[in-house]
Structure 1
Amino acid sequence: MSVVSSTGLGSGMDINGIVQQLITAEQQPQLDAITKQETSTKASLSGLGSLKSALSSFQAAVRKLKDGSLYKATQAVSSDATIFTTTAQAGAVPGKHTVEVTSLAKAQQLTTNAEYSGLGAVASANGGTLNFTYAAGSTKTAFSVTVAAGATLANVRDAINSATGNNGVTASVINVDHTSTGPLDPLNGTTVSKLVLTSKDTGTVNGFSVAAATTDAAGTGLDLFATSAPANYSSVTAADAQIKVDGQTATRSLNTITDVLPGVTLNLLQPTAVGTTVNLDVSLDTATINKTITDFVTAYNSLHTTTNSLGSYGGSAAGATNGPLLGDSLLRNITHSIRQNTTDPVTSATSNYNSLAMIGITIDKSGVMSLDSTKLNNALTANLSAVSDVFTSTSGVAVRLDDKLSVYLQSGGALDSRQTSLNKTLASFDDQKTNLQLRMDNLQKGLQKQFIAMDLAVGQFRQTATFLTQKFG
């Protein structure tokens, strides 16, 4: 009687269990080796990503120092911000000035004296045309408005606002109390409507006039909108802003004045008392320069912390871990290059200020950068141009650092190439795992075949032994 089994019926052994143990013993060390390499590669990729991010942040701080306009930045301060506020832009020249605000610019505004009983009241019996023109020299375009017979006040308002070529007048309707003309006035206590016409811009040059071409009787209909009859409107006259800077008069159509002091903007808020002046101080904005340099120091130290962590040695103690780029030559080269380009003298400097150390920026033996604010401020006060040279001249610190960082961070550069290579290596581990699994599957089939053959032989031997025992017993 033959015995065929993969579960050891002939031999009594757990064939599947034995085969699985043998496969595991063969596979696990190889799988562990692949997994270890995969983990290490992922850690290196992550480390390179952190390094790239830190270098990019540092470059952003470097480029702010490389910008020559930083060292020409000015600030403007008004001694009375209730009269005018001020800002300074590139090109502003440091200096002290006095400003007297004689008058503010105003937009022309006309409010009809004629009162209408609601928006539905007829504004024109016969209709006609309202012609709008502007003061000589205005950039606004004259325009005309056609008003139909029987038009309402709302129709007139809408026709003006939608008129072709109207780029200077806004029409609106206000609902107000009736202006009483006596105790027997039948409209006393009622609400009436009036048309309001307002120039979109301030200044006398933007003032406008209205002429009516109509067959309405004088003093009725569209004739009540003509500015030729002063009694037709209650008005706010267009006016220019007028100021005195250092005693000299300047007239402008806007309350925001940008061209009296080049690079300085004055935002007029209210007139001063006659003869009263407000101080205007335009000075170099050393606070912004200070902050930008301080940010540079902070960014350098942040980069230093990152590179130190990436290349750190955790030691031999249990549980200690190393940095993901420990011993990496690229990390060492980048760290050395950045420090060297930061600390080397500036050969293109035109004064004794020819290094960061000369303006108060030093790096200690552990690689940490520090800033002596007093020394920096003294340098800024003594020779701002020289401080600019330290960073922005041909071999300035910011110029050469930006060049070096661009090489490291560019597409196809050292960091990019390393990441590409590691990603290819990472992808290969999946193939290695697949190939290992195929080998183990084939090995398992072979072992099972051998053990089953052995089990059959053992089963046959046992049958023979049992037969002989019974025969000769």
Structure 2
Amino acid sequence: MAISMPGMGSGLDINMMTQTMVQSELSPRINQLKKSEATINGELAGLESLESALEAFNKTLEKLSDPDEFGSLKVSMDDDGEKILGVTVEGDARPNSYQVTVQQLAEKHKVSVFEGETVAAGSYDIAVGDKTFTLDVGAEDNDLESVMNAINKSKDNPGVTASIINGDQLVLTSNESGAENVISIKDDSGNALAVTELQKAQDALLTVDGIEVKSSSNKVENAINGVTLDLEKTTAEDEVIRVDVETDLDTMTDSVNDLIDSYNKLFGAIEDLTRTPEGGSRPALASDSMTSSLLSQLRSALSSPMEGSAFSNLAEMGIITTMNGDLEVDEDQLEKAFESNPMAIADAFTGSEGVVANLQTVVEQYIGGTEKDEDGEDGKSFDGLIKTRVDSLKDNLDGFDVQWSDLEKRETALTERYSAQFIAMDLAIQQMNSTLSSFTYM
């Protein structure tokens, strides 16, 4: 029996010829897939860099959106004053000085109502101020601890906490301080029970610039517009605490410069992702419509007229956009603006429709955020445009797995077909050579 090996008849490398034919047919598709994958991966990397830059910028915005962090106002008192009260200021406060005295702190009402190991079975109406609930005491659960738990766990409890003192006295304490939150208790006949008052319910009493102020809480928010006083102690006789609310020019200047620096870093990152450097390769997001829209929205947020502000735009504060698109500050002009109306600058940046809020609105469209409800509280979170686009691109990449699998199957089929054809050709040549040889020796 004659032995036949691929290539014996023709002397050709059939395996190499097969591979060459398969590669020739599949190379355009392979190159196309590789190029498409590289394009998508480059786009993904660019979007991830853009999102990272926006998140870094948003951290600065979140910090500066807080008037306290922005530095619109600061409070100063002497050391003795800080022992008496704490002072915090809100965005609507204004620079001023105040003379404060504290005559009385607000207190919670506290009474001892039952003594002994048990409480007489029956119904009791317990009231705190104008709110009342009924406590039912049974003959089998009338020990002090059971009564205490029944009061504290009642869903109708109007604002009182029960506790046991010395093992045989049930003490009731109002949850809120103030003269209106007085505790009273009646039996099922409507008779008031005798109580021992351990702490009188009382309002805080203080004077601000000689004007008497009352507050049910030691957290006094109604004394000075935009200023909260947290009372810790009473002042000594003839003692007056001076509270100075002043503009914090140094912190405000630093905040403005922090915002400008952070914006310029973001702008630089976007340039790197979109602008082709001289002699360099084209970046992934060059001519990208979403990124162009982002830049346009950022510029618009910075240049929008400031309605209701003493300054119509940032340029009047000395903050301008340069020819290349980043921000620049004229320190002298900014200083003059601060000297003329520092609170207007703080409001222009930290107000509900200020520069920082406008920039945050833009940024959150791209990185996602949290919707606000009617009260301004955080609600449902939402994804940004970048995540939506990234998810779509990743889905496209997953689709390439199928295409590569189909290509491998195609490669296998082509290899088998071309190999069979070349082997058949080789056998034919071998047979022809054999026939020719027989003619030669005849």
Decide whether aligned partners of structure 1 residues 29 and 213 sit closer, same or farther in structure 2, where only a CA change above 3 A counts.
closer
Decide whether aligned partners of structure 1 residues 74 and 449 sit closer, same or farther in structure 2, where only a CA change above 3 A counts.
same
Q: Does 1:88 align with 2:46?
A: no
Q: Which residue of 2 aligns with 1:198?
A: 173
Decide whether aligned partners of structure 1 residues 366 and 15 sit closer, same or farther in structure 2, where only a CA change above 3 A counts.
same
Decide whether aligned partners of structure 1 residues 28 and 151 sit closer, same or farther in structure 2, where only a CA change above 3 A counts.
closer
Structure 1 residues 450-459 or 360-369, which shifts more? 360-369
Q: Which residue of 1 aligns with 2:199?
A: 236
Deviations 1:130-160 (A, max 9, x none): 55455xxx33326455463894333443454
1:455, 1:396 → 2: CA distance?
83
Unaligned runs of 5+ in 1: 176-191, 215-222
- The answer to whether the Cα contact below 8 Å between 1:103 and 1:243 also exists between their aligned partners in 2 is yes
Matches within 5 A, 1:173-252: 173-175=164-166, 193-210=168-185, 226-227=193-194, 233=196, 235-252=198-215
1:152, 1:418 → 2: CA distance?
66
Among 433, 447, 450, which residue is 2:418 paired with?
447
SS in structure 2 at match of 1:81: helix
Matches within 5 A, 1:153-168: 153-161=144-152, 165-168=156-159
- The answer to whether the Cα contact below 8 Å between 1:76 and 1:264 also exists between their aligned partners in 2 is no
Q: Which amino acid aligns with 2:194?
A: T
Q: Which residue of 2 aligns with 1:323?
A: 283
Deviations 1:364-390 (A, max 9, x none): 666553445564243123134764797
Decide whether aligned partners of structure 1 residues 424 and 21 sit closer, same or farther in structure 2, where only a CA change above 3 A counts.
same
2:347, 2:263 → 1: CA distance?
20
- The answer to whether the Cα contact below 8 Å between 2:318 and 2:333 also exists between their aligned partners in 1 is yes
Matches within 5 A, 1:39-58: 39-48=38-47, 50-51=49-50, 54=53
Matches within 5 A, 1:119-158: 121=117, 123=118, 127-128=121-122, 130-133=124-127, 138-141=129-132, 143=134, 145-146=136-137, 148=139, 151-158=142-149
Q: Which residue of 1 aligns with 2:339?
A: 381
- The answer to whether the Cα contact below 8 Å between 2:141 and 2:147 also exists between their aligned partners in 1 is no
- The answer to whether the Cα contact below 8 Å between 1:307 and 1:331 also exists between their aligned partners in 2 is no
Q: Does 1:308 align with 2:289?
A: no
Q: Which residue of 2 aligns with 1:8?
A: 7
Q: Which amino acid aligns with 2:201?
A: A
2:329, 2:252 → 1: CA distance?
13
2:143, 2:396 → 1: CA distance?
81
Q: TM-score, normalised by structure 1?
A: 0.67
- Give the deviation of 1:416 after TM superposition: 10
Percent identity over paired residues: 29
SS in structure 2 at match of 1:274: coil
Decide whether aligned partners of structure 1 residues 331 and 128 sit closer, same or farther in structure 2, where only a CA change above 3 A counts.
closer
- The answer to whether the Cα contact below 8 Å between 1:174 and 1:196 also exists between their aligned partners in 2 is yes
- The answer to whether the Cα contact below 8 Å between 1:143 and 1:163 also exists between their aligned partners in 2 is no
2:77, 2:291 → 1: CA distance?
52
How many residues align? The count is 424
- The answer to whether the Cα contact below 8 Å between 1:359 and 1:376 also exists between their aligned partners in 2 is yes
2:313, 2:141 → 1: CA distance?
83
- The answer to whether the Cα contact below 8 Å between 2:298 and 2:359 also exists between their aligned partners in 1 is no
Q: Which residue of 2 aligns with 1:360?
A: 318
- Give the deviation of 1:309 after TM superposition: 1.7
2:224, 2:233 → 1: CA distance?
19
Q: Which residue of 1 aligns with 2:374?
A: none
Decide whether aligned partners of structure 1 residues 139 and 348 sit closer, same or farther in structure 2, where only a CA change above 3 A counts.
closer
Deviations 1:70-90 (A, max 9, x none): 999655555422211122234
- Give the deviation of 1:281 after TM superposition: 2.7
Deviations 1:444-466 (A, max 9, x none): 45533442233122222332355
Q: TM-score, normalised by structure 2?
A: 0.71
- The answer to whether the Cα contact below 8 Å between 2:106 and 2:218 also exists between their aligned partners in 1 is yes
Among 250, 261, 266, which residue is 2:229 paired with?
266
Among 168, 172, 189, which residue is 2:163 paired with?
172
- The answer to whether the Cα contact below 8 Å between 2:107 and 2:178 also exists between their aligned partners in 1 is yes
- The answer to whether the Cα contact below 8 Å between 1:72 and 1:90 also exists between their aligned partners in 2 is no
1:161, 1:427 → 2: CA distance?
58
1:163, 1:23 → 2: CA distance?
82
Q: Which protein is bigger by CA-based radius of gyration?
A: 1
Decide whether aligned partners of structure 1 residues 453 and 161 sit closer, same or farther in structure 2, where only a CA change above 3 A counts.
closer
Decide whether aligned partners of structure 1 residues 363 and 459 sit closer, same or farther in structure 2, where only a CA change above 3 A counts.
same
- Give the deviation of 1:209 after TM superposition: 3.7
